[in-house]
């Protein structure tokens, strides 16, 4: 269900880009692979990220996209400016975004 909702949001943003509609050009993709891991469903995992990166290089190139996921999928070589950040509990080399938050 999570993946379906994210694909729906991508479709809305793609339509807005194609028709030059006034929506915020930021897309936050949170946990698209919830319950889908690359070792269990590699085709779904690979194709989702490949299509996301393709859209961000083409129709959504003026959008900012923040992806929050448990597994990092490297963008293709030559991908536009991007950054990634690994956050690991209790690891000072990979601190959380909110230093005082320790989960529930």
7 located within any domain = yes
Q: Is residue 90 part of a domain?
A: yes
Supply the range of the domain harboring residue 103.
1-14+24-104
> Can you tell me the distance from the alpha carbon of 19 to that of 11, in angstroms, rounded to the nearest whole number?
12
pLDDT averaged over every residue in the chain: 85
Q: Is residue 6 part of a domain?
A: yes
Whole-structure pTM value: 0.81
- Number of domains comprising the chain: 1
Do the beta carbons of residue 35 and residue 17 sit within 8 Å?
no
Q: How many CB atoms lie within 10 A of CB 38?
A: 14
- pLDDT bin (cut points 50, 70, 90) of residue 103 is low
pLDDT of 51 reads 94
Residue 54 inside a domain? The answer is yes
- The answer to the question of residue 38 being in a domain is yes
Q: pLDDT tens across 27-78, in order?
A: 998 877 776 767 777 888 889 999 999 999 999 999 999 988 878 888 988 8
In a domain, 19, yes or no: no
Residue 65 covered by a domain: yes
């Amino acid at each position: 269900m999570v993946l379906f909702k994210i694909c729906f949001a991508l479709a809305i943003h793609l339509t807005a880009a194609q028709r030059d509609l006034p929506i915020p050009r930021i897309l936050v993709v949170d946990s698209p692979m919830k319950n889908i891991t690359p070792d269990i469903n590699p085709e779904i995992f690979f194709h989702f990220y490949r299509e996301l990166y393709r859209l961000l290089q083409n129709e959504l190139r003026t959008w900012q996209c923040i992806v929050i996921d448990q597994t990092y999928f490297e963008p293709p070589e030559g991908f536009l400016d991007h950054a990634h950040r690994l956050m690991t509990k209790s690891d000072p080399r990979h601190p959380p975004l909110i230093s005082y938050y320790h989960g529930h």
